[in-house]
């Protein structure tokens, strides 16, 4: 039997059934084979060396494609597992998926791995790359697969197999190594030219702390040495920018065991930045037609029973507390409070939309193993807002929120965004009609704004579709910040209505909206994005006054006071140290401006100043400097 195949260049040809995509490309389109990782036949991604049994359009996936990178890194995880098994035969393999920018494999072994072991495993991986072992897919009946992995002593694979309902599974072999896997994979190990193992961590089997702790080996791999070197340089830069390291060096925040893990202590400098963010946030919201709310940190447990959080979110909530023999709960969300304010009086269609925002601190239980500086905490402040509107107002409100979001994120210096429209999941509340209305409103709003977006099928929350906006920082890392969610669930649960033009009661639409996500996490992102060198309007110390000797202290104090009166945050370094040392200290603290006061400045009633990253800027009248610096703060410039 012959198959009709359409090549990547559009040519059509008939090939015998059972021929592999790799063989077809080698014979008829060899230029596409050079960088091929796998192929897509119609909508199915396949191994290059998998026999074809259906015809259709053939396209090539390379390392430059997201799916291609996943395949490359998944094959790299298998390569690492093979090297581990050859060096440590008693090791038992759990799972080894591709992740963003690499892979990991969870391994059960008595030996605690060391950095020296990683180097040995990596060296063995490089040998296996040179051996160019063919990677072969084999489909086995479940019982044969179980027998295979029993013989290999792979208990975790047997557990996985026990939960698979299909009649057969695929196994991938390379040399003497075999692994349970759906694939697809690279055609051979030679393609994984530059593997690199990065670190070791602990991980509970299946993420359950009641299960055994396994050793997780993280790694990456690239087809070109230059790509690996670029990645390693980015890793080093990320270490230099680590918000936990800079937070301590710049005295911005701390986490104290006496207080509790995941709870942030904001130091004066960090609190200044937070205040600058919050002040901007409030002023911008007032201008955008929002009203501000304040709500309690706790509420009766019944409120969370009505909202459904006890059913859907209990694992992330702290234990209730007893007050006057009534159970109360630390709030994990702000929304039920806003609903109660809405319901405090009858609302007319003429009152809508209502836009209510709150910097509301919430508390969520996170396992200690996932806590991470400012990025994953147990107490955090959401820049939360809820819009109560009619169905016909959804689209226009979403357009306004998108405008507001992009203005906000750009003000903080972010220009690259990835936007996702998440649609109806398998399990949902509300009617099919309401989902279609909301999803189309979100889609039309995105298209009206002319922004590029991707549809994320089935990834909406159970109570409604949503838009997620992820920002890219200076290292091109992606961070989830903004989410815009249409909610049918809470209005239904709390009976949230308005009186329509017809005099009848109608269900109100509720839009959840967070621009920054949480102040703690966003602060961590800002620290790493700027490497601690904040733009002028966010800098906790905006100018350092550096008198050269004690006789310059009085003039320096006058300069500092004038700057303070103008609203500039100033630090005066009047220590008995050389001015060069003071300058280096100010640069280490990443202060935007340094004002040098010596004999010449006192005599001429001027100042000399230096600018961060740009060095000496010469002399200037103090009043002109104040105007310049005030304009820079007001303009919220994001670069030096």
Say whether 215 is catalytic. Answer: no
* DSSP characters over 291-327: EE----SEEEHHHHHHHTHHHHSGGGSPPPEEETTEE
Instruction: Spot the catalytic one: 331, 466, 552, 590.
Output: 466
Instruction: Spot the catalytic one: 69, 269, 386, 606.
Output: 386
Instruction: Spot the catalytic one: 82, 174, 329, 382.
Output: 382
Say whether 386 is catalytic. Answer: yes
Using CA atoms, how far apart are residues 300 and 108, in angstroms rounded to an integer? 45
Using CA atoms, how far apart are residues 568 and 629, in angstroms rounded to an integer? 8
Using CA atoms, how far apart are residues 358 and 352, in angstroms rounded to an integer? 18
Q: Prior bond to 85 cis, omega within 30?
A: no
- Which residues are 348's β-sheet partners? 499
- Which residues are 484's β-sheet partners? 467, 513
Say whether 424 is catalytic. Answer: no
Say whether 364 is catalytic. Answer: yes
- Cα 396 to its chain centre, rounded Å, is 28
Nearest to 101 by CA among 68, 75, 69: 69
Using CA atoms, how far apart are residues 78 and 284, in angstroms rounded to an integer? 51
* DSSP characters over 224-267: SHHHHHHHHHHHHHHHHH-HHHHHHHTT-EE--TTT-TT-PEEP
User: Coil, helix or strand for 589?
Assistant: coil
Q: Between vectors from CA 261 to CA 538 and to CA 359, what angle results, nearest 5°?
A: 45
Say whether 382 is catalytic. Answer: yes
User: Coil, helix or strand for 594?
Assistant: strand
Say whether 335 is catalytic. Answer: yes
The single-letter DSSP state of residue 508 is P
Using CA atoms, how far apart are residues 26 and 5, in angstroms rounded to an integer? 14
Q: Prior bond to 353 cis, omega within 30?
A: yes
Using CA atoms, how far apart are residues 542 and 222, in angstroms rounded to an integer? 43
Beta carbons of 625 and 589 less than 8 angstroms apart: no
Using CA atoms, how far apart are residues 143 and 156, in angstroms rounded to an integer? 16
Phi, psi of 450 (to 5 degrees): 70, 25
Close Cβ partners of 464 (under 8 Å, ≥ 6 residues apart): 430, 435, 438, 485, 486, 487, 488, 489
Q: Between vectors from CA 363 to CA 362 and to CA 368, what angle results, nearest 5°?
A: 145
Say whether 384 is catalytic. Answer: yes
- Half-sphere exposure (Cβ direction) of 615: Cα atoms closer than 13 Å: 0
Instruction: Spot the catalytic one: 196, 512, 513, 590.
Output: 512
- Which residues are 57's β-sheet partners? 6
Instruction: Spot the catalytic one: 117, 384, 487, 573.
Output: 384
> What crossing angle do the helices spanning 225-241 and 519-530 adopt, rounded to 10°?
120
Beta carbons of 545 and 570 less than 8 angstroms apart: yes
Neighbours of 86 (CB within 10 A): 17
Give Rg (Cα) of the chain: 30
Instruction: Spot the catalytic one: 335, 383, 424, 610.
Output: 335
Nearest to 245 by CA among 376, 370, 373: 373
142 burial (CB, 10 Å; 0-12 / 13-18 / 19+) is middle
Using CA atoms, how far apart are residues 610 and 455, in angstroms rounded to an integer? 49
Nearest to 404 by CA among 536, 289, 275, 293: 289
Instruction: Spot the catalytic one: 85, 269, 364, 552.
Output: 364
Q: Give the active site residues.
A: 335, 364, 382, 384, 386, 466, 512
């Amino acid at each position: 039997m012959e198959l009709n195949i359409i090549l990547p260049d559009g040519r059509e040809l008939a090939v015998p059934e059972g021929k592999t995509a790799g063989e077809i490309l080698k014979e008829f389109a060899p230029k596409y084979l050079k960088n091929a990782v796998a192929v897509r036949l119609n909508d199915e991604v396949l191994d290059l060396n998998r026999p074809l049994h259906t015809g259709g359009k053939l396209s090539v996936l390379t390392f430059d494609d997201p799916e291609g990178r996943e395949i490359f890194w998944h094959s790299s995880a298998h390569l690492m597992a093979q090297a581990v098994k050859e060096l440590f035969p008693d090791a038992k393999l759990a799972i080894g998926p591709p992740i963003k920018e690499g892979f990991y494999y969870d391994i059960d072994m008595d030996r605690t791995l060391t950095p020296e072991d990683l180097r040995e495993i990596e060296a063995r991986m490089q040998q296996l790359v040179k051996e160019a072992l063919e990677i072969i897919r084999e489909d086995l009946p479940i019982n044969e697969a179980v027998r295979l992995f029993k013989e290999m002593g792979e208990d975790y694979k047997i557990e996985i197999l026990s939960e698979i309902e299909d009649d057969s599974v695929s196994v991938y072999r390379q040399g003497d190594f075999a692994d349970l896997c759906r694939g697809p994979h690279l055609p051979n190990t030679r393609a994984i030219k530059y593997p690199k193992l990065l670190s070791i961590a602990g991980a509970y089997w299946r993420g359950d702390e009641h299960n055994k702790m396994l050793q997780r080996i993280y790694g990456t791999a690239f087809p070109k040495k230059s790509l690996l070197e670029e990645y390693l340089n980015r890793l080093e830069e990320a270490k230099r920018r680590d918000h936990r390291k800079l937070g301590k060096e710049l005295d911005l925040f701390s986490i104290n065991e006496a207080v509790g893990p995941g709870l942030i202590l904001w130091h004066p400098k960090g609190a200044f930045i937070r205040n600058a963010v919050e002040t901007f946030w409030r002023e911008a919201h007032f201008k955008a037609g929002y009203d501000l709310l304040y709500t309690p940190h706790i509420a009766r447990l019944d409120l969370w029973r009505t909202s459904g959080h006890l059913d859907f979110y209990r694992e992330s909530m702290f234990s209730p507390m007893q007050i006057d023999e009534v159970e109360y709960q630390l709030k994990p969300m702000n929304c039920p409070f806003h609903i109660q304010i809405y319901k405090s009086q009858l609302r007319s269609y003429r009152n809508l939309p209502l836009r209510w925002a709150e910097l509301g601190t919430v508390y969520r239980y996170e396992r200690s193993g996932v806590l991470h500086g400012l990025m994953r905490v147990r107490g955090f402040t959401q820049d939360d807002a809820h819009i109560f509107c009619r169905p016909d107002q959804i689209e226009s409100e979403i357009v306004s929120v998108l405008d507001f979001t992009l203005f906000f994120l750009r003000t903080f210096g972010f220009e690259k965004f990835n936007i996702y429209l998440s649609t109806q999941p398998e399990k949902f509340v509300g009617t099919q009609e309401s989902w279609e209305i909301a999803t189309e409103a979100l889609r039309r709003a995105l298209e009206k704004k002319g922004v590029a977006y991707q549809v994320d099928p089935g990834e909406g929350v159970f109570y409604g579709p949503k838009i997620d906006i992820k920002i890219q920082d200076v290292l091109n890392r992606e961070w989830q910040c903004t989410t815009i969610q249409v909610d049918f669930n809470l209005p239904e649960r709390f009976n949230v209505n308005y009186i329509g033009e017809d005099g009848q009661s109608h269900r109100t639409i509720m839009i959840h909206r967070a621009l920054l996500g949480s102040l703690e996490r966003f602060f961590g992102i800002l620290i790493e994005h700027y490497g601690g060198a904040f733009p002028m309007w966010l800098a906790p110390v905006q100018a350092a006054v550096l008198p050269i000797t004690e006789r310059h202290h009085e003039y320096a104090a006058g300069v500092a006071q004038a700057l303070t009166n103008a609203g500039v945050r100033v630090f005066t370094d009047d220590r008995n140290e050389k001015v060069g040392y003071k300058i280096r200290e100010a640069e280490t603290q990443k202060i935007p401006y340094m004002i040098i006061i010596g004999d010449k400045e006192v005599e001429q009633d001027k100042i000399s100043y230096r600018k961060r990253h740009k060095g000496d800027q010469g002399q200037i009248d103090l009043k002109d400097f104040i105007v310049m610096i005030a304009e820079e703060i007001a303009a919220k410039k994001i670069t030096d």
